[in-house]
Amino acid sequence: VKPVDLENLDPIFKPKNMAVIGVSLKNPLFPGTIIYNKNLHEYPVNVYAVNERGGKIEGNPVYSKLEDIPAELDLAVLIIKAKYVPAALRNCGEAGVKCCIVVSGGFAEMGANGKKLEDELIEISNQYSLPFMGPNCIGIHSNYVDTFILPSERLATPFPGNVAVVSQSGGVLIDQILSKFYERQIGVAAAASIGNKALINEITLLNYFDKISEVDTIVFYNEGFKQNAGKAFIQLAQTSKKDIILLKGGKSKFGAQAAKSHTAAIATNFNLISSSFKQAGIIEAITEVELVTFTKAISFGLSGIPNGNIAILSISGGHAVLAADLCAYYKLNLVKLTDEQRQILKDNLNPSAAEIASFDNPIDLTGSVIDKDIEDCLELLLSFDSIEGIVILLVPYVPTITMQIGRRLSNIVRNSTIKKPVVAYLPWLAIYGIIIKGLELGKSIPVAHTVEEAIQMMHSLYLKGLKNKKKN
């Protein structure tokens, strides 16, 4: 038997027709019923409910046999007791279903007997050339379909966008990644919880998303690779055309123990794997917050800054101090400006600000500026060759700064012939929404919620720059 072909996963992420095998006719909070109703009412996919007893759910037919469904099925979601899964999977193969997601738990994560059952699934999959995701996963989300076994109204559904997410943990995927992406308006093309990753794993999905034009940035949460999979993943990452961001769970002694009982992940020498990631151009996030800020900056398509040479442009002295304190830790270098450059900056500032501003880097224009001062300063900094990237620290309560400052700075960046990454700090509060929207127009300047997050964004561009540095 030839191993199943895992190249084309479109039937999983962009299905036209889908069956949910295992719905409850009575309990609307039964996971299969949640998936059925959610897709019926909220997603473009045509969805069919399957339960051997037949009947109806809220007036819609429940099919007792897969063969009775009047459509060619791209995808079947299996959410039945583990012991019934092999027969159902075989049934999907017979019926010509193109891909499956096995949500059910009770496989390798439960010990030797479960492992045997999981191996049986792989055998069936090869026999029918039927790729499946899982088992023991919560499924996938895309613009076409959502198989997360949880009610939509309890989830923060992400905005559509150019990021793909692959997570070993369903909880971390939904709550730690998608909720936080929603909060910072990071757009998602597809998200997958791969569970026990019997067949479809990080490698399969990196390979798939690498070829999908809708995806520019691929984000992973991983608690450990199976035998040889880590090496293969790193090799594939090296040749990938997309930006790859990864957060590794279970790095510490306590964490590795927890990962072992969670996903049976094998403890790895973290320093070793971390340096392999870097060599492969993988942008590694160390914390959950870094994962979000890195993804925001990288998904804006900002270019890398291989030498970490930056300028900080502030209108508050204290913010400049806080930002400067973070530079060494995040491997960023505050470029020393020449006397001539400092003079040019000063000459372009309004007289009352020029008198009290500081033109050391970090540059503090003070609260005496108007919009035009910040625009001019940004334009000049873009033109200074020694500077690779610019962090703007924008406190929005100075009365002489207008609500248009965001759009005005965004215009400078988009209209400039000099392409350098610019990121901004501004508190993500509802009252500053107009400025945030202005800055982020056309994906020009990503906005960070804390000074540290702004510096983290630049750090991610430094890590991105290292990859291109190696390639050149």
Asked if 330 contacts 358 with a C-beta cutoff of 8 angstroms, the reply is no
**Interface with a copy of itself, residue 156, by CB under 8 A:** yes
Rounded distance between C-alpha atoms, residue 412 and residue 415, angstroms: 5
Our CB check for a copy of itself shows the closer of 86 and 427 to be 427
Contact criterion met (CB below 8 Å) for 133 and 180: no
Using the contact rule CB under 8 A, the part of the chain among 58-66, 276-284, 390-398, 437-445 near a copy of itself is: 390-398
**Residues 45-104 close enough to bind a copy of itself by CB under 8 A:** none
Is the Cβ of residue 262 or residue 408 nearer to a copy of itself in the bound state? Answer: 262
418 in contact with a copy of itself (CB under 8 A): no
Query: Binding mask 8-37 vs a copy of itself (x if CB under 8 A, - otherwise)?
Result: ---------------------x----x---
Q: How far apart are CA 325 and CA 403, in angstroms?
A: 29
241 binds a copy of itself (CB under 8 A): no
Kindly write down the DSSP assignment for every residue of 104-118, as one continuous string: ---SGGG-HHHHHHH
Shortest Cβ 269–a copy of itself spacing (Å): 15
CA distance linking residue 304 with residue 468, whole number of Å: 8
**C-alpha dihedral sign at 449, 454, 459, 465:** positive
Say if CB 266 and CB 251 are below 8 A apart.
Answer: no
Q: Which of 360, 396, 392, 358 is nearest to 378 (CA)?
A: 392
Entry field: residues in the chain = 472
Q: Which of 60, 211, 397, 470 binds a copy of itself (CB under 8 A)?
A: 397
Question: Residues 25, 150, 229, 232: which binds a copy of itself (CB under 8 A)?
Answer: 150
Type of residue at 292 = V
Pick from 86, 396, 437, 443: which binds a copy of itself (CB under 8 A)? 396
| Of 65-73, 199-207, 281-289, 295-303: span binding a copy of itself (CB under 8 A) | 281-289
Q: How far is the CB of 41 from a copy of itself (least distance, A)?
A: 16
CB–CB of 19/69 below 8 Å? yes
Query: Which residues in 191-230 contact a copy of itself (CB under 8 A)?
Result: 221, 223
Stretch binding a copy of itself (CB under 8 A), from 95-103, 113-121, 230-238, 447-455: 447-455
The helix, strand and coil proportions of the chain, stated in percent and rounded to the nearest 5, come to: 45, 20, 40
Q: Which is nearer to a copy of itself, 198 or 324 (CB)?
A: 324
436 touches a copy of itself (CB under 8 A) = no
Coil, helix or strand for 146? Answer: strand
Q: Is the dihedral of CA 355, 359, 364, 370 positive or negative?
A: positive
What three-state secondary structure class fits 328?
Answer: coil
Residue 151 phi, psi (nearest 5) = -65, 135
Among 54, 61, 187, 255, the residue binding a copy of itself under the rule CB under 8 A is: 255
Closest contact distance (angstroms) between CB of 448 and a copy of itself is: 11
Is residue 138 a contact partner of residue 103, using CB atoms and an 8 Å limit?
yes
CA distance 371 to 119: 64
Applying CB under 8 A, the span of 3-11, 230-238, 254-262, 277-285 interacting with a copy of itself comes to 254-262
| Closest distance to a copy of itself from the beta carbon of 99 (Å) | 25
Binding mask 305-324 for a copy of itself (x = CB under 8 A): ----------xxxxxxxxxx
Confirm if 20 and 60 have CB atoms less than 8 A apart: no
Least distance (Å) between residue 322 CB and a copy of itself:
6
Contacts of 59 (CB under 8 A, 6+ apart): none
**Is 38 strand, coil or helix?**
helix
User: Given the complex with a copy of itself, which of 215 and 256 has the nearer CB atom?
Assistant: 256
Residue 362 binding a copy of itself, by CB under 8 A: yes
Which is closer to a copy of itself, CB of 81 or CB of 470?
A: 81
- Rounded to whole angstroms, the Cα distance separating 198 from 311 reads 47
Q: Which is nearer to a copy of itself, 90 or 251 (CB)?
A: 251
Question: Site mask, a copy of itself, residues 169-198, x = CB under 8 A?
Answer: xxxxxxxx--xx-xx---------------
Tokens of 304: 């890398």
Number of residues binding to a copy of itself, judged by CB under 8 A: 75
Task: Using the minimum distance from each CB to a copy of itself, give the nearer residue, 251 or 459.
Answer: 251
Considering only the stretches 76-84, 226-234, 243-251, 381-389, report the one whose residues sit in contact with a copy of itself under the rule CB under 8 A: 243-251
